[in-house]
Amino acid sequence: MLVPILISAAMIAMPQGRGHDRGGPPGLAKKGGMPPGLAKKGGLPPGLAKKFGRRVPERPYIAVDPRYTDRAYFLIDGRWELRRGFSVDIQAEVRDTLRLAPVPPPVPLPRIGVDLHVVLFN
């Protein structure tokens, strides 16, 4: 009867693990604990950045139809271009853009019968 109590007391007193407490998951510890693309507040998420093509504009505008997360309009060379068929990861980035404050578009938006949510990433 005394043996189980001694074993329990020894287990409680033992240090639990040898983990590295660096403020986040091991893969993110080197990056300051922030996921890629979110290192700067307000930065353009990496999946959406790829949808601009080879060159991301200095002032990247994206217009999102609130009804759909699998598509968005990107302002490229003064024209709104529709990109669609987004993966689940990019759809999550689109949903996050809907939480950002809208900005006025620099050029007229496409007329699709719904108000688009325009966001400017710095």
pLDDT in 10s for each residue of the chain, 122 residues: 676 676 766 667 666 655 555 555 555 555 444 445 444 455 899 999 999 988 999 999 999 999 999 999 999 999 999 999 999 999 999 999 999 999 999 999 999 999 999 999 98
Q: Letter for the amino acid at 5?
A: I
What contacts 20, CB < 8 A, 6 or more positions away? 26, 29
pTM above threshold 0.75 = no
Do the beta carbons of residue 86 and residue 69 sit within 8 Å?
yes
CA 109/CA 103 separation, integer angstroms: 12
Amino acid at 103: V
Strand ranges in 11-104 using DSSP code E only, listed in sequence order: 61-64, 71-76, 79-84
pLDDT score of 6:
61
Cite the DSSP H helix spans in the chain.
2-13, 26-29, 46-51, 88-97
